[in-house]
Amino acid sequence: MNIKTISESQEIIQDNLDYTIFSWSKQKGIAPIAVKYAEGIYLYDYDGKRYIDFSSGLMNVNIGHGNQRVTEAVVKQMQEVSYVSPSCVTKVRGELGKKLAEICPGDLKKAFFTLCGASSVDNGIKLARLYTGRHKILTRYQSYHGASIGSVSAGGDPRKIPVDAQQAPNFVHFDLPYLYRWEYGEENLLKEAVASLERVIAYEGPGNIAAILLEGESGSSGCLKYPVGYLKKVREICNKHGILLIMDEVMSGFGRTGKWFGFEHHDILPDMIVMAKGLTAGYLPFGCLMVSDKIIAKYDDAMLPLGLTYSAHPVTCAAALEVLKIYEDNNLIENAAAMGKYLDTQIEKLKQKHPSIGDWRNTGLLGCIELVKNKTAKEPMAPFNAKPNEMAVMNKVAAKIKELGMYTFVRWSYLFIAPPLCVTKEQIDEGLAIISEAISIADKETEHG
Ligand SMILES: Cc1ncc(COP(=O)(O)O)c(C=O)c1O
């Protein structure tokens, strides 16, 4: 008798492949990691293989995996009450609002709780239009703001191109080049970036523009840093024209960049902050739109036309409140800043060793290596919005990373490094050793290979 046994892990993967749908991916011929459990900065599969998580899941598990304080807070809340309608209140909702008001600067004191990043962006856009009575939203081409119809239209990321025909109206994008691929000097970059934004505003009619929406620090577009002084100029331009400034801190918030929020590196104050990911460190899906007192005051005596069945869900509020305490109790934000500096010095050494490392852009622990075929000509290892056949080398690099026991995010010629904020120097060394070995594959494709 020929009995074919399949391992537990194969069975789990097969069920997932047969009965579930994978986002941003082809559906067949993929080999996902079946995660059994996770602890700190490591994932473990059913065969006992360990993976160092160098992208904190999707840059959200900032406190690290498996923190039982969050589990206990969630269980305790569920034992008391799991759901109340958003018109009722709970202790935890008020406490979380108060804590966020403490963390956020200026008059950003009122929290509208949502479900995820996209629903926070959507509500921010709605509120900006309601408040200003204007309809247009300006965003950077090189940005991602979510996948709902509203937020996907807001982002300029090419993930929107296949659904182009479904775009919502009244989003206008502008280009903001980055230093590594700008030939005319840093000072000139700032000048041109500001001038081109001003031109777009003039063409579109400043009186029609409700808000400029920008990531606090660029994330999945490749950590493309703002020119120094740029966000201050944007704030001035917004003030001049009565345009609101919304900072999307979904990826860059909650210590990821070594400060609570990415925009705090730029000495500005937005009118609204969009939050998700690190708010609960991914332990439960949640989001928040933090709104300035000035904006929300408009609704002191008028109905606010925003709502969600699961707004201020007590269980997600409990997870978030505990996660915020963990950031503070474990000094995670200070650690992110310190480990970010260490990472910078170590990558500098790798740059000397690897002809394929073109650029390294990082703030705290939100970093990205850009791989090139030639350091002088800067030809990317894979082009912007690379087609599958243009990803041959990068796919080999990604496969090697996985084989060597690392999980991280590889996109086009970008290799992201964004470990949980509890990472240690030793763990950074461990991860970089894997990356160094994997990148050797790309080195062979360079002129020195
Ligand atoms: C900057 C930014 N905004 C918004 C989102 C969308 O968040 P979500 O996937 O929770 O809707 C993301 C997701 O990666 C993001 O990086």
Write out the two tokens for 304: 């606010």
Per-residue pLDDT of the chain (449 residues; tens, 9 = 90+): 556 577 889 999 999 999 999 999 999 999 999 999 999 999 999 999 999 999 999 999 999 999 999 999 999 999 999 999 999 999 999 999 999 999 999 999 999 999 999 999 999 999 999 999 999 999 999 999 999 999 999 999 999 999 999 999 999 999 999 999 999 999 999 999 999 999 999 999 999 999 999 999 999 999 999 999 999 999 999 999 999 999 999 999 999 999 999 999 999 999 999 999 999 999 999 999 999 999 999 999 999 999 999 999 999 999 999 999 999 999 999 999 999 999 999 999 999 999 999 999 999 999 999 999 999 999 999 999 999 999 999 999 999 999 999 999 999 999 999 999 999 999 999 999 999 999 999 999 998 77
Q: Which residues fall within 8 angstroms of residue 423, CB to CB, at 6 or more apart? A: 41, 335, 339, 365
Question: One-letter amino acid identity for 21?
Answer: I
Three-state SS sequence of 302-369: CCCCCCCCCCCCHHHHHHHHHHHHHHHHCCHHHHHHHHHHHHHHHHHHHHHHCCCEEEEEEECCEEEE
Calculate the CA dihedral of residues 44, 388, 396, 425 and round it to 10 degrees: -50
Q: How far is the CA of 17 from the centre of ligand 1 (A)?
A: 25
**SS3 of the chain: helix, strand, coil, percent, to 5:** 45, 15, 40
Q: Tell me the C-alpha distance between 305 and 298, whole Å.
A: 12
145 lines ligand 1 (CB under 6 A): yes
Q: Tell me the C-alpha distance between 294 and 397, whole Å.
A: 49
Q: Tell me the C-alpha distance between 256 and 282, whole Å.
A: 13
Residue 303 burial by Cβ neighbours in a 10 Å radius (0-12, 13-18, 19+): exposed
84-102: burial string, b at 16+ Cβ within 10 Å, e else: eebeeebebbeebbebbee
279 lines ligand 1 (CB under 6 A): no
Q: What is the residue with the minimal CA distance to atom 7 of ligand 1? A: 117
Q: How far is the CA of 216 from the centre of ligand 1 (A)?
A: 12
Give the bridge partners for 52, in sequence order: 42, 406
Atom of ligand 1 minimally distant from the CA of 119? 11
Residue with tokens 């001049």: 240
Q: How far is CA 130 from the centre of its chain?
A: 27
Phi then psi dihedrals of residue 43, to 5 deg: -110, 145
Of 191, 187, 186, 202, give the one whose Cα is nearest residue 138. Answer: 202
* Substitution site in 115, 143, 144, 272 for ligand 1 pocket (most atoms within 8 Å of beta carbon): 144
Q: How far is the CA of 178 from the centre of ligand 1 (A)?
A: 21
3 state SS of 145:
coil
* Substitution site in 251, 363, 416 for ligand 1 pocket (most atoms within 8 Å of beta carbon): 251
Q: 28: which DSSP letter?
A: S
Integer CA distances (angstroms), 195 to 190, 235, 259, in order: 8, 14, 29
93 lines ligand 1 (CB under 6 A): no
Write out the two tokens for 425: 């120097």
Q: How far is the CA of 125 from the centre of ligand 1 (A)?
A: 14
117 lines ligand 1 (CB under 6 A): yes
pTM of the model: 0.97
Q: How far is the CA of 147 from the centre of ligand 1 (A)?
A: 8
Q: Tell me the C-alpha distance between 329 and 339, whole Å.
A: 17
Instruction: Give percent of the chain above pLDDT 70.
Output: 99
Q: How far is CA 249 from the centre of its chain?
A: 7
- Assign residue 384 a region: left if phi > 0, alpha if psi is -120 to 50, beta otherwise? beta
Q: Tell me the C-alpha distance between 215 and 201, whole Å.
A: 19
Q: How far is the CA of 64 from the centre of ligand 1 (A)?
A: 19
Q: How far is the CA of 215 from the centre of ligand 1 (A)?
A: 10
